[in-house]
């Protein structure tokens, strides 16, 4: 089976995949489970578009689930990776490039005299990043329990899957089989934006909570943005109780602002500084790369300096680092302005199209990220996100696909614009939306 096999269709590609790959996919949401139909089998992606095995091109609003801030296969990023590849694929040793990337991140996270992070450790996936952040928090405090919020997704490590967003929300699961009860029991899952629930949790578990972990802005059960002051409240509460605050910026980092969600909120008056931040997606420009950053004293608990162990054969892989460095170098103010403008244009066309068909809906925003929910009332927490006419999304999604636009195959995901969504791409989205709105109305 090759990408140029002219007999290949998405159906035949999916059938062959299912015979050798569980569900035919290497990450569940790709299976189109909640929207039905045959998943696309993609062979290439450039700029704002992806192309499937049949040669059909779609304007893409998945952006590899976030990394493609500049658009797919930006020529300078591809060139940087190719030059790195020619020097060797992996060394299992330190490289100058990984220091350069850490310097770039530390610089970006210096906002208004506040230093978001002082040290950065690179890993390969967001899952590893959050898993390690939790371990540092436990190592720093000598405590075991963590607080997470319902509908927030922090990757698929055992302790973080309870009432999780992303594919777990898409499949409507409470968590995962295979997670030992004693491990799940160390995670307290609270409703988001609920200060009383946080206070009550600390009161009920005195001296036992190591950390609160929250997404920058929740973006894995649709957008669940923090209400004004909520993250400040979380940091103050955590610190008063001797716990750490971990801001998971795997999705929002370097996407909503040059300094991520934290930078976005600082620019709007927030005063908090997280103890640890996690990054992924954009930091690797489309290659497997992620990181944990934070205060030097916490980060230096990591081996080889401290007692908290963490390691990785491919951590700081030179190709991934080359993609990350080039992406961050290119992601200047113009890029963020372009993504913001493209996002505002699509959001306004979306709401206009749904309103014209009388489809009850609400859009939720976190900077340039947005999602749609088929309900009228705003979405404040995971219960709200689940309380919608989600069944309208399948027909909506397939009408967009039929008109050449590839959306995230779940209503619980954000729509990702990129700096490569030019007028032509945005016009194609605007032309497809009325058809999709009609399909949603008729659902
Ligand atoms: C906020 C957040 N944290 C962690 C992760 C896990 O990252 P990865 O899929 O690279 O393991 C994701 C992935 O979507 C995410 O959105």
Q: Is the CB of 154 under 6 A from ligand 1?
A: yes
Q: Which residue has the higher pLDDT, 150 or 167?
A: 150
Q: Which of 128, 148, 165, 280 to mutate to test the pocket of ligand 1 (most atoms within 8 A of CB)?
A: 280
Share of the chain above pLDDT 70, in %: 96
Q: Which of 122, 153, 225 to mutate to test the pocket of ligand 1 (most atoms within 8 A of CB)?
A: 153
| Ligand 1: centre distance to CA 435 (Å) | 32
Whether 281 is catalytic: yes
At 216-228, the pLDDT tens digits run: 999 999 999 999 9
State the catalytic residue, choosing from 153, 272, 382, 393.
Answer: 153
| Ligand 1: centre distance to CA 247 (Å) | 12
pLDDT score, position 66: 97
Q: Is the CB of 164 under 6 A from ligand 1?
A: no
Ligand 1 atom at minimal distance to the Cα of residue 216: 1
Where do we find the tokens 């988001």? 192
Pairing between strand 369-373 and 49-52? unpaired
Going by CA atoms, what residue is nearest to atom 16 of ligand 1? 251
State the catalytic residue, choosing from 281, 381, 384, 386.
Answer: 281
Whether 148 is catalytic: no
Judge whether 252 and 218 are in contact, CB under 8 Å.
no
CA distance 61 to 350: 13
How would you list the strands of the sheet with 276-279, edge to edge?
119-123, 290-294, 276-279, 244-249, 209-215, 145-149, 187-190
Cα separations in angstroms, 233 against 129, 157, 216, 270: 24, 26, 14, 10
Q: Is the CB of 369 under 6 A from ligand 1?
A: no
At 291-340, the pLDDT tens digits run: 999 999 999 999 999 999 999 999 999 999 999 999 999 999 999 999 99
Judge whether 28 and 396 are in contact, CB under 8 Å.
no
At 105-124, the pLDDT tens digits run: 999 999 988 999 999 999 99
Q: Is the CB of 166 under 6 A from ligand 1?
A: yes
pLDDT score, position 176: 83
pLDDT band at 174 (very low <50, low <70, confident <90, very high): low
Q: What is the mean pLDDT of residues 246-272?
A: 97
Cross-strand bridge partners of residue 145: 209
| Ligand 1: centre distance to CA 359 (Å) | 31
Pairing between strand 209-215 and 145-149? parallel
Contacts of 49 (CB under 8 A, 6+ apart): 57, 58, 59, 60, 72, 425
- DSSP string computed for 264-294: HHHTTT-----SEEEE-GGGGTTSS-EEEEE
- DSSP string computed for 37-89: SPPP-EEEEEBTEEEETTS-EEEESSGGGTT-TT-BT-HHHHHHHHHHHHH-S
Task: Cite the DSSP H helix spans in 109-207.
Answer: 126-141, 167-170, 181-184, 195-204
Q: Is the CB of 362 under 6 A from ligand 1?
A: no
pLDDT score, position 170: 66
| Ligand 1: centre distance to CA 286 (Å) | 13
Does residue 175 carry a pLDDT above 90? Answer: no
Question: Which bin fits 302, alpha (ψ -120 to 50), beta or left (φ > 0)?
Answer: beta
Ligand 1 atom at minimal distance to the Cα of residue 280: 10
Going by CA atoms, what residue is nearest to atom 4 of ligand 1? 154
pLDDT band at 168 (very low <50, low <70, confident <90, very high): low
At 388-434, the pLDDT tens digits run: 999 999 999 999 999 999 999 999 999 999 999 999 999 999 999 99
CA distance 352 to 149: 32
Q: What is the mean pLDDT of residues 153-175?
A: 78
pLDDT score, position 1: 54
Residue 257: phi and psi, rounded to 5, are -170, 155
CA distance 338 to 332: 10
pLDDT band at 162 (very low <50, low <70, confident <90, very high): confident
Helix H or strand E segment including 365: strand 362-366
Does residue 164 carry a pLDDT above 80? Answer: no
CA distance 152 to 249: 11
**What is the chain's mean pLDDT, rounded?**
95
Q: Is the CB of 255 under 6 A from ligand 1?
A: no
At 44-56, the pLDDT tens digits run: 999 999 999 999 9
Closest CA to 344 of 269, 417, 405: 417
**Looking at domain 75-330, which CATH architecture does it have?**
3-Layer(aba) Sandwich (3.40)
Find how far residue 18's CA is from the centre of its chain: 26
SS3 347: helix
The residue length of the chain stands at 443
- DSSP string computed for 87-127: H-S--SS--HHHHHHHHHHHHHTEETTEES-SEEEEESSHH
Q: N- to C-terminal Cα distance for the chain?
A: 37
Q: Is the CB of 248 under 6 A from ligand 1?
A: yes
Whether 153 is catalytic: yes
pLDDT band at 60 (very low <50, low <70, confident <90, very high): very high
Question: Do you find a cis peptide bond into 96, omega within 30 degrees of 0?
Answer: no
Contacts of 110 (CB under 8 A, 6+ apart): 116
At 180-216, the pLDDT tens digits run: 888 989 999 999 999 999 999 999 999 999 999 999 9
Q: DSSP code of 278? A: E
List every span in the chain annotated with CATH 3.40.640.10: 75-330
Does residue 345 carry a pLDDT above 90? Answer: yes
Q: What is the mean pLDDT of residues 342-360?
A: 98
pLDDT score, position 171: 65
Helix H or strand E segment including 10: helix 10-20
């Amino acid at each position: 089976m090759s990408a140029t096999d002219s007999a290949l269709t998405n159906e035949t590609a999916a059938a062959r995949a299912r015979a050798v790959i569980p569900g035919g996919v290497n990450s569940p949401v790709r299976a189109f489970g909640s929207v039905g139909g045959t998943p696309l089998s993609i062979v290439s992606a450039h700029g704002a578009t992806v192309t499937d095995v049949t040669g059909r091109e779609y304007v893409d609003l998945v952006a590899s689930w976030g990394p493609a801030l500049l658009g797919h296969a930006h020529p300078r990023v591809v060139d940087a990776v190719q030059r790195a590849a020619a020097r060797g694929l992996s060394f299992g040793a330190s490289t100058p490039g990984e220091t350069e990337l850490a310097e770039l991140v530390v610089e970006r996270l210096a906002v208004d005299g506040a230093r978001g992070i002082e040290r950065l450790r690179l890993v390969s996936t967001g899952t590893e990043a959050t898993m390690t952040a939790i371990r540092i928090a436990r190592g720093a405090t000598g405590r075991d329990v963590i607080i997470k919020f319902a509908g927030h997704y922090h990757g698929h490590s055992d302790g973080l899957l309870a009432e999780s967003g992303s594919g777990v929300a898409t499949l409507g699961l409470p968590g995962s089989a295979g997670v030992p009860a004693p491990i799940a029991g160390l995670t307290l899952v609270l409703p988001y934006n609920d200060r009383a629930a946080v206070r009550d949790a600390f009161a009920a578990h005195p001296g036992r909570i190591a950390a609160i972990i929250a997404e920058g802005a929740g973006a894995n059960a649709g957008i669940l943005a923090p209400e004004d002051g909520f993250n400040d409240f979380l940091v103050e509460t955590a610190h008063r109780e001797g716990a750490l605050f971990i801001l998971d910026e795997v999705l929002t980092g370097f996407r909503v602002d040059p300094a991520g969600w934290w930078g976005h909120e600082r620019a709007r008056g927030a005063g908090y500084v997280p103890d640890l931040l996690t990054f992924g997606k954009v930091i690797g420009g489309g290659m497997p790369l992620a990181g944990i950053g934070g205060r030097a004293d916490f980060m230096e608990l990591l081996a080889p300096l401290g007692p908290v162990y963490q390691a990785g054969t491919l951590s700081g892989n030179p190709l991934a680092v080359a993609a990350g460095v080039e992406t961050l170098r290119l992601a200047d103010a113009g890029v963020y302005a372009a993504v913001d403008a493209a996002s505002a244009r699509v959001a306004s066309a979306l709401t206009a199209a749904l309103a014209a068909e009388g489809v009850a809906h609400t859009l939720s925003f976190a900077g340039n990220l947005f999602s749609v929910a088929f309900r009228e009332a705003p979405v404040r927490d995971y219960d709200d996100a689940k309380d919608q006419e989600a069944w309208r999304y399948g027909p909506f999604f397939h009408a967009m696909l039929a008109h050449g636009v590839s959306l995230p195959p779940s209503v619980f995901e954000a729509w990702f614009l990129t700096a490569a969504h030019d007028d032509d791409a945005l016009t194609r989205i605007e032309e497809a939306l009325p058809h999709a709105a009609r399909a949603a109305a008729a659902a």
